[in-house]
């Protein structure tokens, strides 16, 4: 695991103490911040930092998981990465994919999926 830059006090041992649904909710919080960045027209640098915060957490979760969940997390990370590398003009028009990524993330766990509206 690499040294975290934005979550400096978070270690893999500390992360493993949290439940899987809590992991997902922490990542979802960052994705929600990303959604809010569209409404408040954050700077490109602020948006990149939000992405990087989410990447740190998703990487922690990937490192602490195995089996099918790890596979699904890697797929989710790959799709999320595509949003990260978009140019700003395309990215500004991609609000719907961010919402979809948020929904898919929450659906990865039964407990977190309950937060979605029916």
Average pLDDT (43-55) is 90
Res 37 pLDDT > 80: yes
The answer as to whether 6 is a domain residue is no
Taking the mean position of all CA atoms in its chain, how far away is CA 96? Answer: 15
The answer as to whether 62 is a domain residue is yes
- 77 is in which domain, residue-wise? 18-111
Can you give the CATH number for the domain in which 45 is found? Answer: 1.20.120.660
The answer as to whether 11 is a domain residue is no
**pTM across the whole model:** 0.88
Mean pLDDT of the chain: 88
Instruction: Note the pLDDT tens digit of each residue in 52-93.
Output: 999 999 999 999 988 999 999 999 999 999 988 887 666 666
The answer as to whether 54 is a domain residue is yes
The answer as to whether 118 is a domain residue is no
Report residue 5 as tokens. Answer: 């830059």
Alpha carbon of 57 to those of 28, 88, 89, 94, 109: distances in Å?
A: 10, 23, 26, 22, 16
The answer as to whether 96 is a domain residue is yes
pLDDT at residue 91, rounded to an integer: 63
Q: What domain count does the chain have?
A: 1
Res 38 pLDDT > 90: no
pLDDT at residue 117, rounded to an integer: 79
The answer as to whether 40 is a domain residue is yes
């Amino acid at each position: 695991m690499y040294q975290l830059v934005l979550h400096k006090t978070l270690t893999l041992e500390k992360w493993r103490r949290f439940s899987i649904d809590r992991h997902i909710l922490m990542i979802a919080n960052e994705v929600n911040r990303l959604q809010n960045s569209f409404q408040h027209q954050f700077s490109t640098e602020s948006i990149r930092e939000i992405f990087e915060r989410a990447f740190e957490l998703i990487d922690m979760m990937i490192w602490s998981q195995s089996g099918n969940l790890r596979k699904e997390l890697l797929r989710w990370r790959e799709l999320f990465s595509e949003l990260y590398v978009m140019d700003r003009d395309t990215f500004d028009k991609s609000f719907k994919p961010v919402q979809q990524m948020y929904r898919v993330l929450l659906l990865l766990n039964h407990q977190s999926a309950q937060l979605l509206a029916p």
